[in-house]
Amino acid sequence: MRWLPLLLSFALPLGSFAAKNPSTVDRFSEFHTKAQASSPLKLADASYKKLTSAPRDYSVAVLLTALDARFGCQLCTEFQPEWDVLARSWTKGDKNGESRLIFGTLDFSNGRDTFISLGLQSAPVLLLFQPTTGPHAGTTRDAIRYDFSGPQSAENVHVWLSRHLPDRPHPAVSRPVNYIGWIVSIVSTLGVAGVIFKAWPYVLPVIQNRNVWAGLSLIGILLFTSGHMFNQIRKVPYVAGDGRGGINYFAAGFQSQFGLETQIIAFIYGVLSFATISLAIKAPRTRDPKFQQLTVIVWGGVLVLMYSFLLSVFRVKNGGYPFKLPPFM
């Protein structure tokens, strides 16, 4: 009987130590069960500390974010759906917990103390805690931080996690089916097909009309010969100041031009083309001699007038050009 107090004195500290240090297996089972119902886990300061505390024989991937609108974290809002897809796909594909990985999300509104203790000044931050015990124990207790650079997606983070979690299952990312998108696409396709079917007898003659294709070809030729592609490649300004409070519509030299200059040149080319076509095709078909003569005079005058203006513009581009034509001298 005299040994009973001595045994009790040894047993009480051991019992107290066991009560204060629950098994990491029980802790993983607890969080894994919760993750099966909702993944990633919504954490707070206390649950974050409990989940990441050592010793642990499992891994933890925690996203520290700030989703409240007052923080204005656009990347947090954009990345959160990708993180949710990854966590749900991984948890659903690993129902038995063979990968020993728990996903969690800690928002700043619920984890202010954790953000302060980690010294975080920005969000989002993705941390991966490796096991401290067991066959997959890491060489360091420090969390591995994900680099948020470039476009972010669930697939990119999955590759990163797989690289740091070797020799264990890596369930693939499975995105949910967008039923609304499919329905909208099918209905839209059927609607467009119905409209085309009904309008086809009226659209077909227009498509087969040679004049329509000639007009479109002429517009394309005039557009590109006037310098449209030059503007798109060089990103030229629309107009520029002349230094005296006015506006320059034409840039001097052949290596630069303005956006409005291209439009003016295209208009000049269009009028000249239309005048030439009218003199060559329309005028000979006019049966009334007087009207035919008037047509030739009018379109000839337009041709001379616009060509004179074109020469004056060319003299702006090339100051040494010797030719000119009235009335634009």
Q: Does domain 17-164 have CATH number 3.40.30.10?
A: yes
Residue 131 and residue 80 in contact, taking contact as beta carbons nearer than 8 Å: no
- Please, what is the angle between helix 154-164 and helix 74-93, to 10°? 60
Amino acid occupying residue 143: A
Give the contacts of 5 (CB within 8 A, at least 6 positions apart): none
Give the range with max mean pLDDT: 13-22, 80-89, 218-227. 80-89
Query: What are 212-241's pLDDT values in tens digits?
Result: 998 899 888 888 888 888 888 888 888 888
Q: Could you give the CA distance from residue 236 to residue 261 in angstroms, rounded to a whole number? A: 11
Give the contacts of 222 (CB within 8 A, at least 6 positions apart): 266, 269, 270, 273
| Mean pLDDT calculated for residue range 121-129 | 92
b/e for 136-154, b at 16 or more Cβ within 10 A? beeeeeebbebeeeeebeb
Give the contacts of 265 (CB within 8 A, at least 6 positions apart): 226, 227, 310, 313
> Model pTM greater than 0.85?
no
Q: Could you give the CA distance from residue 215 to residue 162 in angstroms, rounded to a whole number? A: 59
* 149 compared with 195, residue with greater pLDDT: 195
* Max Cα-Cα span within the chain: 142
Token pair recorded at residue 158: 């999955």
Give the contacts of 310 (CB within 8 A, at least 6 positions apart): 265, 268, 272
Quick one: pLDDT at residue 16?
41
The full DSSP string for 229-286 is: HHHHHHT--S-EE-SSS-EESS-SSSS---HHHHHHHHHHHHHHHHHHHIIIIIHHH-
Residue whose structure tokens are 């078909």: 285
> H or E stretch including 107?
strand 101-107
Instruction: Give the pLDDT band (50/70/90) at residue 122.
Output: confident
Q: Residue 312: how many CB atoms within 10 A of its CB? A: 16
Residue whose structure tokens are 């990968």: 99
The full DSSP string for 24-89 is: HHHHHHHHHHHHHHSSSEEE-HHHHHHHHPSS-SSEEEEEEE---GGG--HHHHHHHHHHHHHHHH
1 pLDDT above the threshold of 70: no
Query: What are 237-269's pLDDT values in tens digits?
Result: 888 887 788 888 888 877 888 888 888 888 999
Q: Could you give the CA distance from residue 302 to residue 229 in angstroms, rounded to a whole number? A: 28
| Mean pLDDT calculated for residue range 283-294 | 89
Residue 86 and residue 173 in contact, taking contact as beta carbons nearer than 8 Å: yes
Q: Could you give the CA distance from residue 216 to residue 209 in angstroms, rounded to a whole number? A: 11
Q: Could you give the CA distance from residue 214 to residue 285 in angstroms, rounded to a whole number? A: 19
Q: Among 102-106, 195-199, 318-322, whose mean pLDDT is lowest?
A: 318-322
Instruction: Give the pLDDT band (50/70/90) at residue 11.
Output: very low
Label residue 326 exposed, middle or buried (CB < 10 Å: 0-12, 13-18, 19+).
exposed
Pairing relationship of beta strands 125-129 and 144-145 according to DSSP bridges = antiparallel
Quick one: pLDDT at residue 23?
59
14 pLDDT above the threshold of 70: no
Q: Could you give the CA distance from residue 268 to residue 1 in angstroms, rounded to a whole number? A: 119
Q: Name beta bridge partners: 107.
A: 65
Quick one: pLDDT at residue 152?
87
Question: Please, where in the chain does CATH 3.40.30.10 lie?
Answer: 17-164
